[in-house]
Amino acid sequence: MIIAIISVIISFLLDNFLSNITSYSLNSPSLFSTIYTLVILVVLFPYFNNQKKYIILSLITAIFFDIAYTSTFLLNIVIFTIIYFIVKKLNFILPNNLLMANITSLVSIFLYHIITFVILNIVNYNDYTIILLVNILLHSILATVIYTTVMYFILEKIYNIFNIKQIK
């Protein structure tokens, strides 16, 4: 569990650090911009045997994401919860390997942006276009794949060293 918490904290910090050195603006997003916190939660999912612990970790992360990064209330909690159910379903259907981890990560990131886009367009008077959404989704692919792959191998190695198969 400690390894999971540390990797979530590192990803959370990475979101902040990279936002200061790469472009996170809507009109020209960088190829290295994704939601690293969400990616790590997806990569960590198969290691959790105890779903309760995973849900608590996800919810606490969502609360901090809401408060520290987006200054919203409940939005990320709702999105992270929806993504949790999708990831759970995908992990049930798909085998646990690198390719599937990447597919699940991409689905999660796409869902995050699509849900945020829809909600903000409905309730917040913003008129974001579909072109903008597609542009953001396309620019998220590279960073998501790289980070998922790197963290997949790192976590696998660490859990092997400590001989941990699953978090109970």
Partner 1 sequence: MKIRNKKISPRYIILTIVILLVIILIIFSKTLKEDRKLNTVESLLKDAVTFGEKIILTPFNYIGSLVDDFNNLKDVRKENDSLKNNIDRIEAIETENIELRREIEALKEELDIDFVLTDYEKLNATVLSRNIGYWYNTLTIDKGTYNGVEKDMVVVNSTGLIGKVIKTTTFTADVRLITTSDTNNKISVSISNGENKLNGLIKSYSYEENKLEVEGISNTEKVNIGDKVYTSGLGGVFPSGILIGSVDSITTDEYDLAKLIKVTPSADFDDINYVTILKRKDKTK
Please give the residue ranges that form the binding site for partner 1 (CB under 8 A).
13, 15-17, 19-21, 23-29, 33, 35, 64-65, 67-76, 78, 113, 116-117, 119-120, 122-129, 131-132, 136
Pairwise CA distance, residues 129 & 143, whole Å? 23
Residue 69 or 159: the one with the smaller Cβ distance to partner 1 is: 69
Pairwise CA distance, residues 82 & 116, whole Å? 12
* Tokens 């960073």, located at residue: 143
Residue 8 or 46: the one with the smaller Cβ distance to partner 1 is: 8
Residue 27 or 163: the one with the smaller Cβ distance to partner 1 is: 27
Which tokens belong to 56?
A: 């608590």
CB of 72 to partner 1, least distance (A): 6
Report whether 167 contacts 1 (CB < 8 A).
Answer: yes
Residue 125 or 162: the one with the smaller Cβ distance to partner 1 is: 125
3-state class of 48 per DSSP? strand
Based on C-alpha coordinates, what's the Rg of the chain?
A: 16
> Position 159: which residue type?
Y
CB of 111 to partner 1, least distance (A): 14
CB of 27 to partner 1, least distance (A): 4
CB of 168 to partner 1, least distance (A): 29
